Amino acid sequence: MPTAFVLINTEIGSEADVLKELKKVEGVHEASAVYGVYDIVARVTSDTMDKLKEIVTWRVRRLDKVRSTLTMIVVEER
């Protein structure tokens, strides 16, 4: 099953709002606010790689108050 970890930067002070909306997105199975360079880490899975790319590009990255993302596609799971 295609999986990606998406690191998200939000507008200052909007982490909780973005996290709340992110958890409503189909395919987002985990999302956590974190300290560090990024504000949120999300795990996204889908049936196909095309659907995974669609979720990240058209749903996650377009959420209000998301400033930038870094997507890491999983190549091997254990």
Distance CA(24)–CA(68), nearest Å, equals: 19
Query: Residue 23 corresponds to which tokens in the numbers above?
Result: 């958890």
pTM here?
0.93
pLDDT range class, residue 76, cuts 50, 70, 90: confident
The pLDDT value given to residue 52: 97
Domains, the chain, ordered by start: 3-70 (3.30.70.920)
Distance CA(27)–CA(20), nearest Å, equals: 14
**How many C-beta neighbours within 10 Å does residue 14 have?**
16
Q: pLDDT tens digits, residue range 10-39?
A: 999 999 999 999 999 999 999 999 999 999
Strand residues in 1-78 grouped as ranges (E): 3-10, 28-33, 40-45, 66-73
